[in-house]
Amino acid sequence: MITGDTLPKKEVAQTTVVYEEAVCDLGVFAVNESREAVFTLKNTGRQPLLVADVTTSCGCATPRYDKKPVKPGDSMEIRVAMNIKEEGYFEKSISVYCNISEAPVQFKIKGAVVNKESQ
């Protein structure tokens, strides 16, 4: 039977998360030195936490995270390696797209990069 109706889209069950720090200050480090920021999300809801994507505001930030669902009560880490090639203060944004009503979760990474050879 053809009715012209489309199948309803499957809704992803929503959950809730908490995190301690929304801003990570990496301090002062040298040009081309790599530093890593770590953000922890804890699933406080009743459904698995599903992270669809993690985006950054620049190519100098490389996120890594486990793509498996996070069970209720469990936590996950999002690690962001920073490799900045220019001197100066920086503040970069990290967006975590997941199945929570207030997605994306926004994190910030800040610090200062110096040229140690010129000091």
> DSSP assignment of the chain, as one string?
---SPPPPPPPPPPB-EE-S-SEEEEEEEETT-EEEEEEEEEE-SSS-B-EEEEEESSTTEEEEE--SPBPTT-EEEEEEEEE--S-EEEEEEEEEEESBTTPSEEEEEEEEEE-GGG-
Q: For residue 56, which phi and psi values (nearest 5 degrees)?
A: -125, 160
pLDDT digits (tens, 9 = 90+) for 71-115: 999 999 999 999 988 899 999 999 999 999 988 999 999 999 998
- Strand partners of residue 40: 77
Tell me what pLDDT residue 12 has.
77
Residues 2-21: b if buried by 16+ CB within 10 A, e if exposed? eeeeeeeeeeeeebbbeeee
With the C-alpha atoms ordered 59, 66, 44, 110, is the resulting torsion angle positive or negative?
negative
pTM across the whole model: 0.85
pLDDT digits (tens, 9 = 90+) for 23-77: 999 999 999 899 999 999 999 999 999 999 999 999 999 999 999 999 999 999 9
